[in-house]
Structure 1
C-alpha cells in the first residue's frame, strides 16, 4: 500500500470514528456529511472521495466488521474446538465492538449491519466447516445459517444494549446451557 492509499484508509477510519462520535450526540437522521467531515477534521471533498453519503459510510463499517469477523474465524482450527469455545469467541469478538454496536442498537441501525452480514453466512460456513454444522443442500444450509445468524443477532441486540452486559464467557455458558436444554426437550 502506497502513501496515498494509506492516507485514504486513514481518512475513512477518521470519518467512521466521527460518525460514531456523532451518534452519541444526535439521531442518525440529523447527522450531516458536513458534521462528519468537520468532526474528522477533513473536508467534505475528502468525504465524498471516499463515500457517496453517510449511508455508504455506515455500510463501510458494516462490511469492514463482517470481514474482520470472517478473517478471525479463518484463523481458528474448527476440528479442535467445542461449540462453547466458538460461542465464547463470537461473544468476545462482538464485546470488542460493543461501544459501536450499542450506539447502532440505540439508534435503530443495527439491523443494517445484520442485513449486510447475513449474506456472508454461507461464506462463514465454507471457511469454518465446524463438526457441528449440518450437512445438506446449499439451500438448506443457507436457511439454517440465516436462522442461526438471526438468532445470534437477536442475542447481541439484547446483550450489548444493557448498561452492564454479562462477560463473553458468561454469555457463552448461558447459551450453551440453554441450547443443550432446548435439544433435550426435542427428544
Structure 2
C-alpha cells in the first residue's frame, strides 16, 4: 500500500511539472525555460525537479516519448483490410487525439525543438506504412519506397502543424475529410 502511495505521489509531481512546462511553453521560448521556472510554476522545491530529471530537456523528452508511445499504440490498433475503409477511421482517430490534447500537441509540435518530436512521429507513421504494405502484400519500387513514406508522413505532419498554428479553425471532421481528399489519391496509387 505504501508503494502505491509513493507511486501516486511521484506521478502527481511529474504531472505538475509537465503542466508547468506546458504553461511556460505557451508564454516563452523553450530555450529560456529553466528548472527554477518549472518548480516555481508548479509550486515545488527545485530539488524535487532534480530528483526526477537532470534538466528541462529530459522532462520534454519524457513527455515526447510518452506521446509518441500513445500515438504508436493508437495506430497499431487500426486494422488494415483490403477492400475496407480503414484510412478514414485511422485519420479520424489521429484528429480526435489532437483535438483532445490540443495544448499538449501545440507545445510538442510548435516549439523550436519540435523537429525531433516530428521525426519520432514520422518514424511511427512510416512503420505503419510498412505494416500496411506487408499486410496487403504490396510491392513498391525499393528506390522510391522511402520517398513515398516521407511524402505521406511529412505532408500529414505539415497539415497538423498548420492546423495547430491557426488555432484549429476546422473541426476534426473537416480536417479528417481534407486529409482524406489529399491522401486518398496516394493510397489509390499504392493500394490496387
TM-score > 0.5 by shorter chain: yes
> Please, what TM-score do these two structures have when normalized by structure 1?
0.79
The CA deviation string for residues 71-125 of structure 1, in whole angstroms up to 9 with x for no partner, is: 2233333335431222111211122222232344554333232133334345545
Sort the Cα spacing of 1:114 and 1:41 in 2 relative to 1 into closer, same or farther, 3 A. Answer: same
> Please, what TM-score do these two structures have when normalized by structure 2?
0.77
CA contact (8 A) 1:37 1:47 kept: yes
CA contact (8 A) 2:75 2:90 kept: no
Residue of structure 2 aligned with 1:20, choices 19, 22, 30: 22
Question: Separation in 2 of the partners of 1:184 and 1:135?
Answer: 14
Residue of structure 2 aligned with 1:5, choices 4, 7, 11: 7
Aligned to 1:50: 52
Work out which structure has the larger RCO, using CA pairs closer than 8 Å and 6 or more positions apart in sequence: 1
Q: Any gaps of 5 or more consecutive residues in structure 2?
A: none
Question: Separation in 1 of the partners of 2:125 and 2:118?
Answer: 10
Question: Separation in 1 of the partners of 2:69 and 2:184?
Answer: 30
Residue of structure 1 aligned with 2:70, choices 62, 68, 71: 68
Aligned to 1:91: 95
When the two chains are superposed, the root-mean-square deviation of aligned CA atoms in Å is 3.4
Sort the Cα spacing of 1:164 and 1:153 in 2 relative to 1 into closer, same or farther, 3 A. Answer: closer
